[in-house]
Chains A and B, each alone.
Chain A
Amino acid sequence: MMHLPILPILLPLLAGILLLLLRPLGLQVQRMVGFAAAFALLMLAVWLFDSALVGQRQVYALGDWPAPFGITLVFDQLAALMLLVTAILAVGALWYAIVTEIDAQGSHFHVLFQMQLFGLNGAFLTGDAFNLFVFFEVLLLASYSLLLHGGGKERTVAGLHYVVVNLVGSTVFLFALGALYGALGTLNIADMAAKVAALPAEREGLVMAAGLLLLLVFGLKAAMFPLYLWLPAAYARTSAPVAALFAVMTKVGVYAIIRVHGTVFGADAGNLAYFYAPWLLGLGLITLVLAALGVLAAFRLRFQVAYLVLASVAMLLIAVGLHSETGLAAALYYLVHSTLLAGGLFLLADVIVRGRGTYADRFDPGLRLPHHALLGGLFMLAAVAALGLPPLSGFLGKLWILQAALEHPWRWAVLATVLMSSALLLIALARSGSVLFYKVKDHADAADPELPTQIPAFGMSLVAVVWLLAAVPLLVVLAQPVAEIMQQIAAQTLDTAGYRAAVFDPAVGGK
């Protein structure tokens, strides 16, 4: 039990190194080992989630150096939830990459995939702001290469933008960490929270500036207004399984805001308590409006899905910006729903693209798709869930967020923006669905050189789509127990005094 919190970090790292060594044995071996590692990670995540729900926080001191001198990993319910969502998404995305042979389009796909998981899991588990930076870099470096996987001119240009924007983001991250270290003398999150609680008044300005700088960085990862412009092209132009895995990358930014800002500038922070929340709420509202307009204006299905990811991140920022326990619980419910749904939508969009031949994902009337009823049904299901119409999980999530917003002074702004943007999404998705599935041509034109009559590996690739989209009905059927779990997680996350106690005294939280 003692070494459990570090396993989700070690497993993908060791699997990645093993895959690198296995390369001479060919792709089939790499596929089996890579998928087995992802599946083992899922099993581990389920087990850890289960043990996190009944137990307390577990603190793992690397090298047995006590906090705040050493590197600490903190495993709590929020981290366990993020690990579980990532593992579910990874299994679906990896399965899709294998059955459609997208992993064969370039070298080292499986190694990079495991490294990406290594970085993600590390970012969720670390209890130290500098290690958060290091794990961010690990997951970003893997994501740069995965984004470019398969090559192509459009992908290279989108990748260049993504890399440069994130490198500048890393620089700002270091400036923020430097300023925080200069003002507080520590980078351990729990220790920072303790130092902020006892901060002399003349340093408040500096710490606040550093906190906002950090919010800027996390906002960049989460694609918050005005730092979202890199997202649509990068997500729309990469390969489908990579885009599906990236559905969790924006949520890492939101997670970091909840974890770092929620702990350091939490209820005990005196004058600085929750100073970031109005920023988050305001920028979230603007992001939501722009995302809805982007969904409406998109002329390609994959761009539309990318803007839907943006809309879901905006909802999360709003829910976190409400800074109430209900708001956070609603945010976590919506986070699980939107991450798995976005992953499923990217994969579904790719299946549709492969069925439309040269029309790809442009909103032009093409020939009738193979398996159009099944694909149309799945698209409808996913669209209804993404919009937040009853009876699917998007509706419950949005309703819960709106309910939490009713206690906030900005409730009318939140209500109006969320409902108006949902209406815009409805119009946009109804249009794209009708173009893709209803407005079809009877005969192929001379201008259509080759149109597929079958989608290759259709059944197998649909398994991955259904695996991810299954979360939508499941979150409705199990709404009551899931909501209770989310409330429990939110309560533990907001208990920053307990977090600090667990980090400083392993006997408290380390059982």
Chain B
Amino acid sequence: MELLIALSIGVLVACGVYLVLRASTFPVVMGLTLLSYATNLFLFAMGRLAIGVPAIVRPDAAGYADPLPQALVLTAIVIAFGMTAFAIVLALKARGETGSDHVDGKGGESS
């Protein structure tokens, strides 16, 4: 499971960085989304991976999962959603004002 999680984080980050560097607003937003997925997985994994153990106190529990990373991931997800929505609106505004979806607003790959 560790290998799988590590691989998923690595692949997500690699794809995210590649897309952000594409310098065209739609891939950039997609890249940011992938990067935020990667951070969420990473934060989650940093609380140590455990299967089937509760995060809240129960009398019959054999062990506990670390609840703090789950709280952090929740906050991070909310913030990432808000920021992505803002980036999309801004990208649309830039597309409308500059007539191009290149992040510099110049020629390039105008759609």
Contact = CB atoms under 8 A, between A and B. Distances in A.
Interface of A: 130, 134, 137, 141, 144, 148, 153, 156-157, 159-161, 163-164, 167-168, 170-171, 174-175, 177-179, 181-182, 187
Contacts of A148: 90, 93
A174 B87 contact: no
B30 interface: no
A163 B43 contact: no
Interface centre among A144, A148, A178 (most CB of B within 10 A): A178
Contact of B32 (A130, A141, A168): A168
A137 B79 contact: yes
Interface residues of B, number: 33
A187 B66 CA distance: 13
B52 to A, nearest CB: 21
Contacts of B61: none
A161 to B, nearest CB: 7
Contacts of B42: 174-175, 178
A129 to B, nearest CB: 10
Given A175-B39, A178-B46, A156 B83 contact: no
A163 B39 contact: no
Interface centre among A161, A171, A175, A187 (most CB of B within 10 A): A171
A163 B87 CA distance: 7
Interface pairs A-B: 3 shortest CB-CB:
A182-B46, A174-B39, A157-B105
A181 B47 CA distance: 8
A164 B79 contact: no
15 contacts: A144-B86, A144-B90, A148-B93, A156-B97, A157-B94, A160-B25, A161-B103, A164-B28, A164-B32, A167-B87, A170-B79, A171-B36, A177-B43, A177-B72, A182-B45
- Tell me if A's interface is mostly helix, strand, loop or mixed: helix
B50 interface: no
A210 to B, nearest CB: 10
Nearest to B41: A178
Interface in B15-56: 16, 20, 25, 28, 32, 35-36, 38-39, 42-43, 45-47
Contact of B90 (A159, A168, A179): A159
Nearest to B44: A178
B36 A156 contact: no
Nearest to B17: A168
B76 interface: yes
A164 B103 contact: yes
Nearest to A164: B28
Nearest to B105: A157
Contact of A137 (B47, B83, B94, B103): B83
A153 B83 contact: no
B59 interface: no
A167 B32 contact: yes
Given A153-B105, A156-B93, A156-B105, A178 B75 contact: no
Nearest to B75: A134
Contacts of A153: 97-98, 105
B19 to A, nearest CB: 11
Contacts of B104: 157
Contact of A168 (B20, B46, B93, B94): B20
A174 B43 contact: yes
Interface string B67-111: 011001001100100110011001101100110000111000000
A175 B90 CA distance: 25
A182 B76 CA distance: 16
A181 B20 CA distance: 27
Nearest to A134: B75
Nearest to B38: A171
A163 B32 CA distance: 11
A157 B98 contact: yes
Given A157-B103, A161-B103, A178-B42, 14 more contacts: A134-B79, A137-B79, A153-B98, A156-B94, A156-B98, A156-B105, A160-B25, A160-B91, A164-B32, A168-B35, A171-B35, A171-B39, A178-B43, A181-B43
Nearest to A160: B94
A175 B44 CA distance: 11
B94 A141 contact: no
Contacts of B97: 153, 156
B91 to A, nearest CB: 7
Nearest to A161: B103
Nearest to A157: B105
Contacts of A144: 86, 90
A167 B46 contact: no
A160 B36 contact: no
B10 to A, nearest CB: 12
A182 B43 CA distance: 8
B9 to A, nearest CB: 9
A68 to B, nearest CB: 10
B95 to A, nearest CB: 10
Contacts of A182: 45-47
A161 B90 CA distance: 10
B4 to A, nearest CB: 18
B77 to A, nearest CB: 11
Contacts of A178: 39, 42-43, 45-46, 69
B30 to A, nearest CB: 12
Contacts of B20: 164, 168
A141 B46 CA distance: 27
Contacts of B69: 178, 181
B46 A179 contact: yes
Contacts of A157: 94, 98, 103-105
A345 B94 CA distance: 29
